[in-house]
Homo-oligomer: A and B are copies of this chain.
Amino acid sequence: MGSKERIAKLKSELRKDILCAALAILKNDGRQSLSLRKIADRIEYSPPVIYSYFKNKEAILIALCELCYQQFNGCIEKNCRKLTNPEERLTAIVTTCWNFAIEEKEMYDLMWEVGSTCTDPFTQFKELGLFLNFLSETLKNLCGKKVCTEEYLFHKSQTAIAVMHGHICLNYTLSNADPKLRSRMLNETILYVMNLINDYNLTSRELNNHY
């Protein structure tokens, strides 16, 4: 490896360090405590270096959000890709989302916070797009032989994300709920998401004209 490459790698690594530091602060101290100064302190550099790698704080948040989506998508891939049965896979997807939201609440919240400020998060964040595709593909398999349009599948996937998100937020607020209830909520969420396809048959009269 030439010296140029080594330097480029070092440079790229400092960028990573910044994001890792930001992520660590996010996890440990919370979203509100995430300041440029703290990031600089943690990487043991002076604050201005950050501006060599990111235009401003917003750019950091977006990149951090991307990192979160990567980690999230990594979990999904790891836990669900191997499952071939569509119902099993969908179950695993919902469960993975659910657990990620609980274990990495700060990350999960940031993903929605930043996503809300973007015009089109599903295309802006590559890994979110991949997740949407994966979900869409899974739903397609769930449909079986029935033919579905791409548009329909994407829409259903987004709806699935919405339903999961709603339950996850509810779960956040019911923080003193006992584990049993939580477990039941997760099960129900799985069912609802599953039924997004199943009940397609039931409500086809209403939805039919949209597609």
Interface residues of A (CB under 8 A from B): 112, 115-116, 118-122, 158-159, 161-167, 169-170, 172-176, 184, 187-188, 191-192, 195, 199, 202-203, 206-207, 210
Contact = CB atoms under 8 A, between A and B. Distances in A.
Q: How many copies does the complex hold?
A: 4
Contacts of A166: 161-167, 169
Contacts of A210: 184
Contacts of A159: 167, 170, 188, 192
A165 B158 contact: no
A165 B172 CA distance: 13
Contact of A203 (B115, B163, B176, B191): B191
B175 A170 contact: no
24 contacts: A112-B169, A116-B173, A118-B173, A119-B175, A120-B174, A120-B175, A122-B173, A158-B174, A159-B188, A161-B166, A162-B163, A162-B166, A162-B167, A162-B169, A164-B166, A165-B170, A166-B167, A169-B169, A184-B210, A188-B207, A191-B207, A192-B192, A199-B199, A199-B202
A203 B120 CA distance: 35
Contacts of A203: 191, 195
A119 B172 CA distance: 9
A208 to B, nearest CB: 12
A105 B174 CA distance: 22
A172 B207 contact: no
Given A119-B176, A163-B166, A165-B165, 20 more contacts: A112-B173, A115-B173, A116-B169, A120-B174, A122-B173, A158-B170, A159-B192, A162-B166, A162-B167, A162-B169, A163-B167, A163-B192, A166-B166, A166-B167, A191-B206, A195-B202, A195-B203, A199-B199, A199-B202, A202-B202
